[in-house]
Amino acid sequence: MFVWSSVDSELDGGFAAGLIAGDGHFAIQPNNGGTSWQCFVAVRLRADDTPLLADLCRWSGAGKLHAVPAQRTSRPQTTWIVQRKADCRRIVSILDRHRLLGKKQSQYAIWRTAIVAWTGVRSDRHSIVAACGKQLRAHRHVDVVPGASEVSITDHELCAFLAGFVTAEAHFGATLEGHPHFRINLRNDDGALLHLFRDRLRLGRLADVPPYGTSKAALSWRVARLDELRALTQVLDRYPPRGRVLRIYEAWRDLVLLEDRKSGRRGSLAARVKERRAYTPGLEWVKTVDAVESRRRRHIAVLREWEARTDGRITATAYEAWRRSSRPEAPKYETIAAAFGSWIEALEAARLSTQGCRTPAQNAKAQAKAAACRAARQAEQRAAILAALRDCIRMLGRQPGVTEFMAWRSRHAPTTPCQATVYRVFPDGWASVLEALAAEPASPAVDEPSGPDTAAPGVSVRTG
Q: 268-308, pLDDT tens digit by residue?
A: 999 999 999 998 887 776 655 666 777 788 889 889 989 88
Backbone angles phi, psi at 44, to 5 degrees: -115, 125
Structural contact between residues 314 and 355, judged by C-beta atoms closer than 8 angstroms? yes
Is the pLDDT reported for residue 437 higher than 80? yes
Q: At 257, which CATH number?
A: 3.10.28.10
Same domain, 118 and 217: no
Residue 385 covered by a domain: yes
Is the pLDDT reported for residue 256 higher than 70? yes
Structural contact between residues 92 and 20, judged by C-beta atoms closer than 8 angstroms? no
Residue 39 covered by a domain: yes
Same domain, 137 and 166: no
Same domain, 333 and 400: no
Residue 457 covered by a domain: no
Residue 431 covered by a domain: yes
Same domain, 35 and 111: yes
Average pLDDT over residues 339-347: 86
* β partners of residue 45: 78
* β partners of residue 28: 39
Assign 20 to helix, strand or coil: helix
Instruction: Identify the DSSP state of 101.
Output: -
299's enclosing H/E stretch is helix 291-308
Same domain, 23 and 103: yes
Taking CA atoms, 383 is separated from 90, 152, 322, 448, in Å, by 39, 59, 39, 20
List the single range of 15-24, 285-294, 314-323, 343-352 with lowest mean pLDDT.
285-294
Same domain, 259 and 178: yes
Average pLDDT over residues 194-221: 91
Local confidence band at 459 (pLDDT 50, 70, 90 cut-offs) = very low
Same domain, 137 and 159: no
Is the pLDDT reported for residue 249 higher than 60? yes
Same domain, 265 and 306: no
Same domain, 265 and 304: no
Q: How confident is the model at residue 143, as a pLDDT?
A: 62
Show which of 303, 333, 349 is a domain's final residue: 349
More confident residue, 33 or 451: 33
Apex CA 139: angle with CA 134 and CA 407, to 5°? 20
pTM: 0.69
- Cα–Cα distance between 15 and 159 in angstroms, integer? 9
Range of the domain at 249: 155-277
Q: How confident is the model at residue 450, as a pLDDT?
A: 41
Residue 320 covered by a domain: yes
- Cα–Cα distance between 380 and 460 in angstroms, integer? 14
Q: Long-range CB contacts (< 8 A, 24+ apart) of 345-350?
A: 346/299, 346/300, 346/303, 347/303, 347/314, 349/296, 349/300, 350/299, 350/300, 350/303, 350/304, 350/307
Local confidence band at 462 (pLDDT 50, 70, 90 cut-offs) = very low
Nearest of 226, 220, 211, 108 to residue 169 by alpha carbon: 220
Structural contact between residues 329 and 89, judged by C-beta atoms closer than 8 angstroms? yes
Mean pLDDT of the chain: 85
Residue 29 covered by a domain: yes
Local confidence band at 448 (pLDDT 50, 70, 90 cut-offs) = very low
Taking CA atoms, 156 is separated from 14, 15, 235, in Å, by 9, 11, 10
* Phi-psi sector, 35: left (phi>0), alpha (psi -120 to 50), beta: alpha
Domain count, the chain: 4
Show which of 224, 255, 277 is a domain's final residue: 277
Is the pLDDT reported for residue 3 higher than 80? no
Same domain, 319 and 213: no
* β partners of residue 12: none
Same domain, 23 and 126: yes
Compute the half-sphere exposure of residue 194: CA atoms within 13 Å on the CB side of its CA: 23
Residue 417 covered by a domain: yes
Show which of 117, 142, 167 is a domain's final residue: 142
Q: How confident is the model at residue 31, as a pLDDT?
A: 85
Residue 316 covered by a domain: yes
Same domain, 93 and 14: yes
